[in-house]
Amino acid sequence: MPELPEVECLRRSLARIVGRRVVRAELFRLDVTSWIGDANDGAAWTGLPPGNEIFALHRRGKQLAIETRGGGVLVIHLGMSGQTLLDSTRVERTHTHACWTLDDGSTLSFRDPRRFGGLWAGRDIQAVENVLWKGLGADALNVTATMIQSVTRASKRAIKSILLDQRVVAGIGNIYADEALFDAGIRPTSRRTLSDTLANRLAASIRSTLNAAITRGGSTLRDYVDASGSAGSAQHLHRVYGRGGECCVSCGGVLRQISFLQRTTVFCPRCQPA
């Protein structure tokens, strides 16, 4: 569920760890951890090597990278239910898979009940970009009409399938795909090549939908909270997601909910013509 806006809000809420030195790394579940490329030098997996100073927070699509000075980058993917918490006051220790203590006494922890997410350790940010993020498309905040239009021209894939493909554009999941397509007036199942007008409209819809969600702190449907444990309120902006059978905010017609691409898809039959 955490998509680009939620991960971006998480990134921003972690700003105060920049400049902090890692004191201790504790791992409770090794099976959520991986190495990037040849990063495994035989030492134990720590994600953030103790002794290193955190100096940058990067995001690409739905993935967050915490870079330390002198090498050692931790990449976090929240999957469906992941949380990255700073100084969590909640006693909730269940499903916490890793924890790092910083030199100001604060703790950074990663929880993920469903374990669809994970942690990756890389040598440096170049390794992350060249290996882990190599296949990812442009970040969805920077999507252009051309990027989408060229794919619709080259294939007959449904537009929603294209938007969900992280290799084309990184950061869009089921919620914002439906929201952006509604905003652009395009049916999710459409397989037509997008005209210049529609491609421009869709690119603008994606950017504005994501930015609006970021402004509201992301969408919290159940699990998402930022590093301080605060929920977002962007779910109140949703116009189609989770509203199947309800009235279209634009035309008043009934929103249709279908199963498409093994996902729940909601659209307005009138505002998003086939």
Q: Which of 107-115, 122-130, 141-149, 201-209 is the region at the interface with DNA (rule: CB under 7 A)? A: 107-115
Query: Taking the complex as a whole, how short is the minimal distance between the CB of residue 67 and DNA, in angstroms?
Result: 20
Q: Which of 80, 204, 212, 254 binds DNA (CB under 7 A)?
A: 80
Beta strands in the chain (DSSP E): 22-27, 33-35, 54-60, 63-68, 73-77, 83-86, 96-102, 107-111, 118-122, 138-139, 169-170, 256-260, 263-267
Question: Residue 67 interacts with DNA (CB under 7 A)?
Answer: no
Token readout for 260 is 């498409």
Is residue 12 annotated as part of the catalytic site, yes or no?
Answer: no
Residue nearer to DNA on the CB measure, 24 or 167: 167
89 burial via Cβ count (<10 Å: 0-12, 13-18, 19+): exposed
Interface with DNA (CB under 7 A), residue from 35, 45, 55, 260: 260
Residue 81 touches DNA, criterion: CB under 7 A: yes
Q: Shortest distance, CB of residue 121 to DNA, whole angstroms?
A: 17
For every residue of 157-206, which 3-state class applies, written as one string?
CCHHHHHHCCCCEECCCHHHHHHHHHHHCCCCCCCCCCCHHHHHHHHHHH
116 contributes a contact to DNA by CB under 7 A = yes
Question: Which is closer to DNA, CB of 39 or CB of 240?
Answer: 240
Helices (H) and strands (E) in the chain, counts: 6, 13
3 state DSSP class of 212: helix
| 95 binds DNA per the rule CB under 7 A | yes
| Interaction of residue 154 with DNA, rule CB under 7 A | yes
Catalytic residue, candidates 59, 62, 111, 201: 62
Decide if residue 274 touches DNA (CB under 7 A).
Answer: no
* Interacting positions 157-196 with DNA (CB under 7 A): 157-158, 161, 164, 166, 173-175, 191
Cα 193 from Cα 199, distance rounded (Å): 9
By CB under 7 A, tell whether 33 contacts DNA: no
In angstroms, how far is CA 63 from the centroid of its own chain?
Answer: 6
Q: Which residue ranges make up the site for DNA (CB under 7 A)? A: 1, 3, 61-62, 77, 79-81, 94-95, 113-116, 154-158, 161, 164, 166, 173-175, 191, 222, 260-264
User: Catalytic amino acids?
Assistant: 2-3, 62, 263
